[in-house]
Amino acid sequence: MEEQSTPIKATITPFQTKTIRCIVKLGGAAITCKSELETVNEENLNIVSTQLRQMMFSGSDSGKVPGMDWSKRPGMSETPSINDEYCDQFNLDPEKFIIVHGAGSFGHFQASKSGVHKGGLSQPLVKAGFVATRISVTSLNHEIVRALAKEGIPSIGMSPFSCGWSTSKRNMEAADVTMVVKALESGFVPVLHGDAVLDTSQGCTILSGDVIIRYLAAELKPEFVVFLTDVLGVYDRPPTEPGAVLLREIAVHEDGSWSVVNPIIQDAKNQVVVTVAAHDTTGGMVTKISEAAMIAKLGIDVYIVKAATEQSKTALSGHLKHNVPESWLGTIIRLVR
Amino acid sequence: MEEQSTPIKATITPFQTKTIRCIVKLGGAAITCKSELETVNEENLNIVSTQLRQMMFSGSDSGKVPGMDWSKRPGMSETPSINDEYCDQFNLDPEKFIIVHGAGSFGHFQASKSGVHKGGLSQPLVKAGFVATRISVTSLNHEIVRALAKEGIPSIGMSPFSCGWSTSKRNMEAADVTMVVKALESGFVPVLHGDAVLDTSQGCTILSGDVIIRYLAAELKPEFVVFLTDVLGVYDRPPTEPGAVLLREIAVHEDGSWSVVNPIIQDAKNQVVVTVAAHDTTGGMVTKISEAAMIAKLGIDVYIVKAATEQSKTALSGHLKHNVPESWLGTIIRLVR
């Protein structure tokens, strides 16, 4: 939600033994119904979960999987049935993925009503809003963890607040990734989220999913990062405007500057800034490109793609690193040396 | 759930500036319906929440409070209404309480079905059970945080797993209380729970709420500890047996041994061990007395009392430290020097 520009120190935690395959952002707009308060986009979430499972477990493209959500659901039978032997037929050791999700129609109402991002915990409204925001975003986290677990992904919900992550002047400060790495090493898939956190200078703020991803990417150096969103990728202007052009590839230079290389557009960078900024002041596509460019600068490919499509499946497979099919629609942001 | 006997090193975190008033255990049996899978005992939870609010905010014994759960509830209006000015009439800086809850009818089914407490994450069933257990216990945590927030308590759910707590040979190992203290210092009420955690020797296990409380008590030295349960206190035999006697006071000696001082019973300690062990092998009253005795040995009074009663209200007020009314029913466990 907020852009933060402090340079991030990249240190690899010593006990990390196997490469992180991918960090995936589940965009709030893609997995919730943005216009309906606290409503999950079940259809998208289910497709995304299936695609993720397919990419995490090689060879499990079809067939049954052992569900890991054994909890009651409204309107369903009281006792979930678990077949002990059934589980043991499966390899439940996935490729190392980390999932980070946004808030969508969860949390935003509570946060904006109370101004949590601006801090001031001594004000009762801010304090109440902090509590209310965490209730809402952790509720979404719980739903996502359940959807992934139902699909057979050993997902583990981890709240940045509980992980001890905090900010200073709204910039990431303390963020120990030890527990995220331990969860990965134990064969789990950590599921983090944008969260209300403590801030040493202003009391509290909102730590966005995008900032978390940038931080994790710098710390853990995944092979690639995928942003799943509700449009095909990054456009040169709001995609609903006539003539909007999908930016297929953005090249990031070693000094951190970036330019659109496909399609070739005159003065593309400024054009994007001007047209996008007008409709999205709180961290839309320009923030996304800036965040993504900072990740790409580390040599990590970033794919921005529409969730729950063939395009997202291709992006999650990692094949784009070596070969981008002509038919693939989305935005690739990568370092050129 | 599991008894653990490693001595705990008590170190006060340096930035702790104000005394912790109380650590409260919400027993699983008191706040869930034990015989109905994943069902909260709403009536008890609401009364407990009200009592806690009254004890945390002096002078707010009656009247309206600003609710901090602004999320949708099934069957309720889409948009919660929050009156901005309303909030600001209140002091939302509570006495420092920490809440830890058990699992009751949440988590036990998943944990016992898969044997999470015995470890072995390479077994698919254990791994799936780990995920399923966490889904279930975090779901209860979420319900409790919401109930407390609705009452006006600035509650913050914190999972031991996410906090980075782990065990070694099923004994508490890494347990950084920094984030719990920071939440308290910011005026929040941390709400922790028994959880599935990683174990350095056996892969994973269950960390029980009782062990968490003993650890937190040693680290943070609260004024007193209250266990809210579903019976009046500790009896000399299963309370359903004819002639069962409520143990009103147990004296703990500096060497850690303990004896019943009220009522006076011949050979009471052995009697309790024998009769209780017969009906509860997985950490019932004997474990509870042992855990409580270890806390009392630190000079911290422990009250075991029936939840949602006048007795629990008295216990939570802390008045028992100075004066135990003749009419009060419950078990006091305290150090005698």
Q: How do the domains of chain A map onto residue ranges?
A: 1-68+89-222, 232-337
Cβ-based burial of A273 (10 A; exposed 0-12, middle 13-18, buried ≥19):
middle
The predicted pLDDT at position A277 comes to 40
Architecture of domain B1-68+90-222: 3-Layer(aba) Sandwich (3.40)
The predicted pLDDT at position B278 comes to 41
> Quick one: CA dihedral B192, B193, B196, B199, positive or negative?
positive
Say how far apart CA A234 and CA A232 lie, in whole Å. 7
Query: pLDDT tens, B47-64?
Result: 999 999 999 987 554 555
Query: pLDDT tens, B175-231?
Result: 899 999 999 999 999 999 999 999 999 999 999 999 999 999 999 999 999 999 999
> Quick one: CA dihedral A139, A31, A169, A119, positive or negative?
negative
Strand locations in chain A (E)? 22-26, 97-101, 155-157, 167-168, 171-172, 189-193, 195-199, 203-207, 224-229, 249-252, 258-262, 301-306, 331-335
Phi-psi region of A3 (alpha: psi -120 to 50; beta: other; left: phi over 0): beta
Q: How distant is the Cα of B39 from the closest Cα of chain A, in angstroms?
A: 9
Contact status of B201 with chain A (Cβ, < 8 Å): no
Contact B142 A145 (CB under 8 A): no
| Closest alpha carbon within chain A to B110 | A70
Contact B92 A179 (CB under 8 A): no
Alpha-carbon dihedral angle through residues A193, B109, B72, B228, given to the nearest 10 degrees = -100
Residue among B37, B82, B203 whose CB faces A72 most closely:
B37
Contact status of A57 with chain B (Cβ, < 8 Å): no
Q: How distant is the Cα of B28 from the closest Cα of chain A, in angstroms?
A: 17
Give the pLDDT band of residue B295 (cuts 50, 70, 90): very high
Query: pLDDT tens, B64-94?
Result: 568 899 998 876 655 666 766 556 667 778 9
Q: Shortest CA distance to A313 belongs to which of A28, A52, A32?
A: A52
3-state secondary structure of B220: helix
Q: Which residues of B touch A135 (CB under 8 A)?
A: 68-71, 142, 145-146, 149
Contact B70 A113 (CB under 8 A): yes
Chain B, window 277-316: residues with a beta carbon less than 8 angstroms from a chain A beta carbon: none
Chain A, window 36-55: residues with a beta carbon less than 8 angstroms from a chain B beta carbon: 36-38
DSSP B222-251: -SEEEEEESSSS-BSS-TTSTT--B--EEE
The residue assigned the tokens 């008890």 is: B44
CB A32 within 8 A of CB A112: no
Residue among B37, B132, B178 whose CB faces A164 most closely:
B178
Say how far apart CA A124 and CA B303 lie, in whole Å. 32
Contact A88 B123 (CB under 8 A): yes
Say how far apart CA A39 and CA A104 lie, in whole Å. 9
| Closest alpha carbon within chain A to B177 | A164
Q: How distant is the Cα of B192 from the closest Cα of chain A, in angstroms?
A: 10
Q: How distant is the Cα of B125 from the closest Cα of chain A, in angstroms?
A: 5
Q: Which residues of B touch A68 (CB under 8 A)?
A: 127-128, 131-132, 135
Contact A131 B87 (CB under 8 A): no
Chain A to chain B Cβ contacts (< 8 Å): 190
Contact B145 A135 (CB under 8 A): yes
Q: Which residues of A touch B173 (CB under 8 A)?
A: none
Contact A203 B186 (CB under 8 A): yes
Q: A101-116 as b/e, with b when 16 or more CB fall inside 10 Å? A: bbbbbbbbbbbebbeb
Sort strands B249-252 and B189-193 into parallel, antiparallel or unpaired: unpaired
Rg from Cα positions in chain B: 20
Q: Helix axis angle, B42-56 relative to B124-150, nearest 10°?
A: 60
Residues making up the binding site of B: 103-104, 108, 209, 230, 284, 288
Query: How many residues can be counted in chain A?
Result: 337
Chain A, window 137-156: residues with a beta carbon less than 8 angstroms from a chain B beta carbon: 138-139, 142, 145-146, 149, 154-156
Contact status of A201 with chain B (Cβ, < 8 Å): no
Say how far apart CA B48 and CA B229 lie, in whole Å. 11
Q: Which residues of B touch A113 (CB under 8 A)?
A: 70, 82, 84
Chain A, window 58-117: residues with a beta carbon less than 8 angstroms from a chain B beta carbon: 66-72, 74, 78-79, 82, 84, 87-92, 109-110, 113-114
The predicted pLDDT at position A239 comes to 84
Q: Shortest CA distance to A165 belongs to which of B164, B195, B139, B267?
A: B164
The residue assigned the tokens 């070693």 is: A254
CB A228 within 8 A of CB A307: yes
3-state secondary structure of A173: coil
B166: which 2 tokens? 């782990």
The predicted pLDDT at position A278 comes to 41
CB A67 within 8 A of CB A140: no
Q: For chain A (length 337 residues), average pLDDT per consecutive 10? A: 44 59 96 93 97 84 72 71 65 90 93 93 93 97 97 96 93 90 97 97 95 95 97 87 90 91 70 44 63 94 97 96 94 95
Please, what is the average pLDDT of chain B?
86
Query: pLDDT tens, B227-270?
Result: 999 999 998 888 888 888 999 999 999 998 888 999 986 655 55
Contact B128 A68 (CB under 8 A): yes
Q: Which residues of A touch B129 (CB under 8 A)?
A: 70
Give the pLDDT band of residue B291 (cuts 50, 70, 90): confident
| Closest alpha carbon within chain A to B146 | A135
Written out in words, the top-level CATH class of the domain with range A1-68+89-222 is alpha beta
Sort strands B224-229 and B301-306 into parallel, antiparallel or unpaired: parallel
Q: Which residues of B touch A92 (CB under 8 A)?
A: 124, 127-128
Contact A134 B157 (CB under 8 A): yes
B277: which 2 tokens? 């062990």
3-state secondary structure of A32: strand
Query: pLDDT tens, B106-152?
Result: 998 899 999 999 999 999 999 999 999 999 999 999 999 999 999 99
